[in-house]
Amino acid sequence: MTRRVLVLNQDHSPLTVTTVQRAFLLIYLDKAAMMTQVSGVFLNTVSQAYPMPAVIKINRYIQLPYRGVVLSRQNIFRRDGFECQYCGTSTDLTLDHVVPKSRNGKSTWKNLVTACKPCNSRKGDYTPHEMGFALRSQPYKPSYVLFLSNFSGFVSEEWKPYLNGQMKKTG
């Protein structure tokens, strides 16, 4: 079973992603409650069938230190799906400052995008707007849980209502 389960804190904020086995154990030990189940899929024992959890909520609040996603070259590439944000190619990639450093553009999540070397060269010291370039998606700072779920390669439809505004819009 490689399916993943979204774990919510008591206040319904995303906490982590776990395995189905661990989620079922938390529910069985009455340490968590099932919020959403996978439709039509069950965990079978010799004598009983249990609904497979998709989202669970921990019964007591867990205080965690701030866990952010580190700003790095690989994490920017990962956030942008390893595609140039100007033309969509996935070859010869580098980073580009939306507002160039020469114009006081900072190295932040909202100012860095993945770009191929030809688009980055063409853009040069200009903004995308000045060059007539359109960004395929607006740069954003990913949340820790969204980053974990994307890194694991799985975002369930059942999770989306609980990730609310944190989901990246694709298209």
Work out how many domains the chain is built from and give that number.
2
Residue 67 maps to a domain: no
Give residue 83's pLDDT band: very low, low, confident or very high (50, 70, 90): very high
Residues 55 and 34 in one domain: yes
Residue 34 maps to a domain: yes
Residue 99 maps to a domain: yes
Residues 8 and 56 in one domain: yes
Alpha-carbon torsion 84, 85, 86, 88, what sign?
positive
The DSSP result for 67-115, as a single string, is: ------HHHHHHHTTTS-TTT---SSEEEEESS-GGGT---STTTEEEE
Residues 79 and 126 in one domain: yes
Stronger pLDDT, 170 or 5, i.e. the higher one = 5
Rounded mean pLDDT, 162-166: 63
Residues 125 and 159 in one domain: no
pLDDT digits (tens, 9 = 90+) for 102-133: 999 999 999 999 999 999 999 999 999 999 99
Stronger pLDDT, 163 or 40, i.e. the higher one = 40
Residue 21 maps to a domain: yes
Residue 65 maps to a domain: no
Residue 171 maps to a domain: no
Domain enclosing residue 161, as ranges? 4-60+143-166
Residue 68 maps to a domain: no
